[in-house]
Amino acid sequence: MRSVRLIMISVCACTLTACATFGFGGNQAGVRIVGKQKYCGSASQSSEVHYFASQAGFDNWVNFRDLGNWHETVRTPGLMVVEMGQRPTGGYKLTLDNKQTQLKDNVLTVGFNWNAPRIDAAVSQAMTTQCVAVALPKRSYKQVKVLDQLGNARGSFEVQR
């Protein structure tokens, strides 16, 4: 009985390690969303992508946008913030597209779904400017590209190492 329990614990530990290492249930590149905001202070309807290599850079951006309640930790190689831009109502959201997110030829491609509310959805009648913070994986790549669900480029940047 004791040996069966030990074997089961070992199998569970190996499975969890594999999931964490290879991104099972997520994406192969190891990209993950670490924070979200419904109001990010965007000044335009255009989407934007921001890269922060340091905590000070992210904190300055948060202070400039008056997002005092947003606290994320910037770890090497950095933090990326993807902004949806101004939207006329609530109900909009950004979600990570794990199938489109990949690391290939020193380029990390991060896919997002730009989701709009259904036409008949009950939504707040207030302008929103949603954004998400994404922890970049500790891997070998020089550039990050952000794509929407149609494959359109929404932004890119070079990673500082």
Task: Write the CA distances from 57 to 66, 68, 133, integer angstroms.
Answer: 14, 14, 14
Q: C-alpha angle with apex 74: 73 to 80, nearest 5 degrees?
A: 115
**Model pTM score:** 0.79
Residue 68: how many CA atoms within 13 Å on its side-chain side? 1
> Is 90 exceeded by the pLDDT of residue 43?
no
Residue 65 forms part of a structural domain: yes
Q: C-alpha angle with apex 142: 102 to 67, nearest 5 degrees?
A: 80
Q: What is the spatial distance between Cα 102 and Cα 129, in angstroms, rounded to a whole number? A: 26
Q: Which residue has the tokens 């419904």?
A: 38
Residue 147 forms part of a structural domain: yes
* The token pair that represents 128 in the structure block: 């929103």
Using pLDDT thresholds of 50, 70 and 90, give the confidence band for residue 36.
very high
Residue 87 forms part of a structural domain: yes
What would the pLDDT profile of 48-74 be if each residue is shown by its tens digit?
Answer: 999 999 999 999 999 999 988 888 999
Residue 77 forms part of a structural domain: yes
Q: What is the pLDDT of residue 14?
A: 43
What would the pLDDT profile of 134-149 be if each residue is shown by its tens digit?
Answer: 999 998 899 999 999 9
Q: What is the pLDDT of residue 7?
A: 52
Q: What is the pLDDT of residue 1?
A: 62
Residue 154 forms part of a structural domain: yes
Q: What is the spatial distance between Cα 74 and Cα 60, in angstroms, rounded to a whole number? A: 12
Structural domain count, the chain: 1
Residue 90 forms part of a structural domain: yes
Residue 10 forms part of a structural domain: no
Task: Residue 151: give the domain boundaries.
Answer: 27-158
Residue 1 forms part of a structural domain: no
Q: What is the pLDDT of residue 26?
A: 65
